[in-house]
Structure 1
Amino acid sequence: MLLLSCKNQKGITKVTQEKKPRNILFIAVDDLRPELNFYGSKHIQSPNLDKLADQSLVFNRAYCNVPVCGASRASLLSGMRPTRHRFIDYSTRADIDVPDAISLPKLLKQNGYTTIANGKVYHNGKDNVSSWNSIWFPEGNIRNYQLEENIKDNGNANLAVAGATAFEMAEVEDTAYFDGKIAQKGIADLKKLKNKNKPFFLALGFMKPHLPFNAPKKYWDLYDRSKIELPESYLQPESTPKEAFHNFGELRNYGNIPKQGDVPDDLAKELIHGYYACVSYVDAQIGLVLDELKRLELEEDTIIILWGDHGWNLGDHKLWCKHVTFETALKAPLIIKVPGKTKGQKTDAIIEYIDIYPSLVELIGIESPKTLDGQSFVPILNGETPEKDWAVSKFKDAVTLIKGDLFYTEWTKDDGVAYARMLFDHSTDPLELHNLAKKPEYQDTINQLAKDLRIKWGEDFLNQ
């Protein structure tokens, strides 16, 4: 809120409000990759996301700082970069890794915002609880099966599924699954917030398309599986270091997935089908929330930001899930709608997820904490060219520098010494199939990128 003081004709100082504070609708979508119409992919039906993109600034090159849900969310919401020992895996809690940091919702709460978290915002619902005026999550098993056989096979398992299938197609209403409930809770909150005199930060964390790929049948019916194809990059080249691949244990937990080896082609296409259905399902739920925001006449005073917590491998490099530093796991959807500023623009500027926090607080006129590592992208909204043209992402030992068309990864030990390297040039190899790191003609480039990486990963990278 920006307050101006002035004196009236009688010399009495009067405080006036220049403009009403902006609300923020903060939409997180779990495991959403940028395989969407506004990114050039024409086969997924997501009309509500497409409509929002037409009113927003679309970031074509937004990268998460760590491709695993808990760590990615902790980094984004604290505005701090992962280090060697900070923000590591799905179980990461920001209030443990950076207990003195002022989270984005906490800063807003301190500045008069009503802060609400519905669904999966932080990975752990107990993380940074003091940042929120209220926290809500649907009741029930996290896997959220609706078919009796799957409920029985799943039992009480949450993280490790004993025998249930990796997908489900059920003849149920949208509100049977968690995301339908999260949307309805968001709509109810908007109605309550409408008549309050305080700005709000309403965070909605949607669960799909995270595994298992469970969605109402009508969303599966949108797609013809006979037309679904495996990705062009459905191979693992010998030039790529073995460290770049994993056994996608997150998927193999499910009872209908083989424990070793490639996923059979027919099953792979069924998984892709389920992923598409889940994207269409969550798109419909987000659409309901956006329609209500407009109906309540809150649209013109609300910044909307939508992001996926990381990318996702959908058979790319014969991999599934995240947990790698290929672009398929690092690049994620990011769009922001700012009333009066955005109207469907797109930018190829390289953005890191730690840039989101300083950008939002600049847009609403609040000073950023000094602990933030990111850089505001507001200049892009104003039509300017950003100063920063790089990003750094990491997963466990792998650290990646993204600079221009070059994607350079080192696997390093605690002392920072590399034991494997990977370099792709996206201008000639967008699918990342030809590792250039061992080619003699690229050694000068490798040496320079190695120096740049060590500068840009932060001075505390090895120590914290």
Structure 2
Amino acid sequence: MMKQFLSIVLFITSLAMYAQQTAQKKHDESQAKKPNILFIAVDDLRPELKCYGASQIKSPNLDKLAADGLVFNRAYCNIPVCGASRASLLSGTRPTRYRFIDAYTEKDKDNPDAMSLPLLLKNNGYTTISNGKIYHHQKDDNKAWDSRWFPKGNIRNYQLAENIEKNAQANLSEAGGVAFENANVSDTAYFDGKIAQKGMADLRKLKGQNKPFFLALGFMKPHLPFNAPKKYWDLYERNTIQLPENYVQPETTPKEAFHNYGELRQYDGIPKKGDLQDEMAKELIHGYYACVSYVDAQIGLVLDELKRLDLEEDTIVILWGDHGWNLGEHKLWCKHSTFERALKTPLIIKVPGKTKGTVSNDIVEYIDVYPSLVELAGLKNPTTVEGKSFVPIINGKKSDKNWAVSKFKDAVTLIKDDLFYTEWTDDQGKAYARMLFDHKTDPLELDNLAEKPVYQNIVKELAAELRAKWGKDFLKKN
């Protein structure tokens, strides 16, 4: 009798173990079927690349990614400042008058109830890794990551002794240091070279695990200061660099549209007010170009490693810049405005088996990234997500969304078809200044139509639509 009992116990135990192993196997297979995601953020990268049309910038690796991916020709950030833009994108929620304001925004403080994209993926079996600058604050949304890493050293990352001494221990918000550096050093001397190497090492480790990964790489350049190894400066001839066509501030444009580009003014050699000398302006443009080519090379190393490890066919690659950047357009530098140059962003996605080097002219905004990646991963969005998936565009369909909304401080912009309409509003949402550009006839944004009598009906319609689309909580205080 005892033998029979023990046999039954052993049989039941074996069944239970078999069931457990089968369930684990099914779980592992399910996880393995989910696509990996290589999430590449590039600080201050504007869509001035060959894959976006004619450009002096040499970016062969980004152009190669575009040739295998889908290029969004009309992607717009929801707020043109790094910390706020990243928190908005990663939470899938819009900026409001009181939420996601500036570079120092923290997702945990501004929108703690929103489940971030990396946390959702982590909760659904993904290994999540943050390398470099993903959020502005390294401890923001900390629960979302299995590991985080940032290169050690002063954030300005100078390599030449005289620049290190001049900079001392200054941070980006403090005066001191030069605006660019041309140093004869290796690629790994600067942060982005180290970030690329760390990303490649992580790919090698992730290769062997039986679960999907979300590997986020946040590259620092072309953020100021424009520091890049000499060989990337040498790719360009200074005498071929021109100032932008719209190097002017028209009188019809509201004064509120312009700023003193304080971010650049913090650096030695930059006048504290007034226009830059033409030669200085061209040297800055040269430095920006060099930095883009430098970061392009680092991203190329990571993409080559992804292919070498046979992970390419299982991995979605998405590359984005956190906002646009002015290189003298409207005599502005940096971001912090609602002209198109500050709002329009590079956005390229490569989905194995689906993308093949096409360009979309449909309007997308950065809060659309979250729901798109979630759909591609076969998951469900949290109720807090406000964006709209652009997977139908990836599948070759035309989007039925022809608008986006962006803001910076009091300025709120509705982008609709070819029209760019901006209002500066007070706490009650009442406009005190406005501008309207029609990009079909005025792509350089030199002729403000908002105050012209013939456009008043259009302005009235756009003003109503702006308020309908800027988000239900736009005027709500936190």
CA contact (8 A) 2:222 2:291 kept: yes
In 2: Cα distance, 1:136 partner to 1:109 partner: 17
1:128 matched residue in structure 2: 141
Aligned twin of 1:390: 403
Instruction: Specify the alignment match of 2:201 in structure 1.
Output: 188
Deviations 1:124-145 (A, max 9, x none): 1110011000000000000000
User: What pairs up with 1:279-294 in 2 under 5 angstroms?
Assistant: 279-294=292-307
Whole-angstrom CA distance in 2 between matches of 1:73 and 1:44:
25
Alignment correspondent of 2:446: 433
Tell me whether 1:241 sits opposite 2:254 in the alignment. yes
Q: Is the 8 A contact 2:372 2:388 kept in 1?
A: yes
Residue 389 of structure 1: how far off its partner (Å): 1.1
Q: 1:435 to 1:149 in 2, by over 3 A?
A: same
How far apart are the structure 2 equivalents of 1:423 and 1:216?
Answer: 41
Question: How far 1:382 moved relative to its partner?
Answer: 1.1
8 Å contact kept, 1:46–1:283:
yes
User: How far apart are the structure 2 equivalents of 1:372 and 1:120?
Assistant: 23
**Partners of 1:261 and 1:84 in 2: CA distance:** 30
Match for residue 321 of structure 1? 334
Which stretch of structure 1 is more off in the superposition, 39-48 or 302-311?
A: 39-48
CA contact (8 A) 1:36 1:42 kept: yes
Aligned with 1:310 (options 320, 323, 345): 323
Structure 1 counterpart of 2:167: 154
* Runs (5+) with no aligned partner, structure 2: 1-21
The CA deviation at 1:154 is 0.4
Query: How does the TM-score come out when normalised to structure 2?
Result: 0.94
Larger Cα-atom Rg? 2
Tell me which protein shows more helix as a share of its residues.
Answer: 2
The aligned residue for residue 17 of structure 2 is: none
1:270 corresponds to which residue? 283
d(CA) in 1 for partners of 2:218, 2:472: 32
Residues 307 and 333 in structure 1, CA contact (< 8 A), matched pair in contact too: yes
Number of equivalent positions: 453
Percent identity between the two aligned chains: 74
Aligned equivalent of 1:25: 38
Distance 1:42 1:231 in 2: 12
Q: Secondary structure at the match of 1:54?
A: helix
Tell me the SS of whatever aligns to 1:452.
helix
For 2:395 and 2:126, the matched residues in 1 are separated by 25
- Native 8 Å contact 1:154 1:161 kept in 2: no
Q: In 2, are the aligned partners of 1:142 and 1:158 still within 8 Å (CA)?
A: yes
Quote how far apart the aligned CAs of 1:45 are: 0.4
- What RMSD over aligned residues (CA atoms) do the two structures have, in Å? 1.2
* Cα deviation, residue 36, structure 1: 0.4
Shift of 1:42: 2.8
The equivalent position to 1:205 in structure 2, one of 200, 214, 218, is 218
**Structure 2 match to 1:48:** 61
One of 37, 47, 54 as aligned partner of 2:50: 37
Residue 244 of structure 2 corresponds to residue 231 of structure 1: yes
In structure 1, stretches of 5+ residues that fail to align are: 1-11
- Cα distance in 2 for partners of 1:41, 1:275 equals 17
Q: TM-score, normalised by structure 1?
A: 0.96
User: What one-letter code is carried by the residue in structure 1 that aligns with 2:344?
Assistant: K
C-alpha contact (below 8 Å) 2:170/2:176 kept by paired residues: no
What is the distance in 1 between the residues matched to 2:293 and 2:26? Answer: 48
The CA deviation string for residues 331-363 of structure 1, in whole angstroms up to 9 with x for no partner, is 000000000000101100000000000000100
Counterpart of 1:297 in structure 2 is: 310
Aligned-residue offset at 1:161: 4.1
User: For 2:185, what is the secondary structure of its paired residue?
Assistant: coil
Q: Distance in 1 between matches of 2:207 and 2:99?
A: 39
Match of 1:293, SS state, is helix
- In the alignment, the residues of structure 2 paired with residue 158 and residue 83 of structure 1 have an alpha-carbon distance, to the nearest angstrom, of 28
| Shift in Å, 1:458 | 1.1
